[in-house]
Amino acid sequence: MRRLWLIFAQTTTVCLGILFVVSTLRPDLLAWSARTNVEVVTTREAAVETPLRAMTSFGDAAAKAMPTVVNIYTSKEINVPRHPFMDDPVFRHFFGDQFDAQKRRSSSLGSGVLVSDRGYILTNHHVVEAADEIEVALADTRRAKASIVGTDPETDIAVLKIDLGNLPVIAFAQSDQARVGDIVLAIGNPYGFGQTVTLGIISALGRHMGISTFENSIQTDAAINPGNSGGALVDIGGNLLGINNAIYSPSGGSQGIGFAIPSSLAKQVMEQIIATGVVTRGWVGIGVQDMTPELAKALNLPKVKGALVTDVVPRSPAQQAGLRAGDVLVAVGNKPVTDYASTLNLIAALKPGTVAPLKVVRANDEIEFKVSVGTRPKPARSDTGR
Residues ≥6 apart with Cβ < 8 Å to 314: none
Could you tell me how far CA 203 lies from the centroid of its own chain?
8
Q: Are 159 and 273 contacting, i.e. CB atoms less than 8 angstroms apart?
A: yes
Delineate the domains of the chain, giving CATH numbers in brackets.
68-93+108-161 (2.40.10.10), 175-276 (2.40.10.10), 282-375 (2.30.42.10)
The 10s digit of each residue's pLDDT in 335-355 is: 898 888 888 888 988 889 999
The values of phi and psi at residue 66, to 5°, are -60, -40
pTM, entire model: 0.70
The 10s digit of each residue's pLDDT in 296-309 is: 888 777 777 888 89
Where is mean pLDDT largest: 35-39, 157-161, 358-362? Answer: 157-161
Mean pLDDT of 111-139: 91
Active site residues: 126, 156, 229
Angle at 105 (CA atoms; ends 100, 108), nearest 5 degrees: 145
Report the C-alpha gap between 181 and 204 in whole angstroms: 8
Instruction: Say which DSSP state 124 is in.
Output: -
Q: What percentage of the chain has pLDDT greater than the value 90?
A: 39
